[in-house]
Amino acid sequence: MRKIGYLGPAGTFSEQAALLYVQGCPGELTPFGDVPELIMAVQSGALHCAVVPIENVLEGTVNITIDILAHETDLKIVGEQVLPVHQCLIAPYGVKPDDIDRIVSHPQALAQCRHFLHAHFPRIPVYSVNSTAAGAMEVKKSSLPMAAVANRRAAEIFGLNVLMENIEDKPNNCTRFVVLSHGIMHSTGDDKTSIVFSVNDEPGSLLKVLDIFARLGINLTKIESRPMRTRLGQYLFFIDFEGHIEEETVARALNSVKYMSTYFKHLGSYPCFRSEEGA
């Protein structure tokens, strides 16, 4: 059976996304302790694929994911999942909000609840761990009156009490996950393509690349820059757009972008995520 990795332990939002993925692509789920270890397990062949977070509505891109994709692997994105994120404040039974002396969670989860934590626990220190479920596990094992920011499933798994629900600062919070593999996905007619590239540091160079998509009528869904890791002032540009590399128009666009780039990498063409409501 295919081995599919996710950022564990059980009870993370990554596990929820992985559970959704295996409904259509059955496999054995395997937890990993951090994102780099997880991605490199796919690169080495220890896993068939991995479900990793790449973007959050409130906190933006998960930089470690796109940096590894750009610089350290030849993996492709073969799918995506978008998961609503509702955070809870959880603690051992018997611990009340006034008892809490520290709060732990993944850095992204803490950032997503920044205003809530400042308003309700302004003098309580917060500590980062590798995942929301790891924070719940730490709270479970500790004899201190700690709390964790995690989801309701983590509370159930580790036998903790939900003190407060929906503590994220924005109600429309959601995280986009991508599925990474050595394989490729053929066109379905409703696809998305991701690329990363760099251009010469000269006036209009990026605009010329973007104009390629405009002239061919290709809709961009995301564009973001990251440091090139070479010297100051050099950047990589990550772009998502509608369409598949097997489509003639998309192939023409990518050939033109590649010709104009100093660095180019096709990160994958894969089916667009569609919720049951068609969002």
Q: What is the set of active-site residues? A: 175, 177
Report d(CA 42, CA 128) in Å as an integer: 26
Within 8 A by CB and 6+ apart from 165, the residues are: 86, 88, 152
At which residue do the structure tokens 């205003």 appear?
A: 115
By the 8 A CB rule, do 265 and 195 touch?
Answer: yes
Dihedrals phi, psi of 13, to nearest 5 degrees:
-65, -30
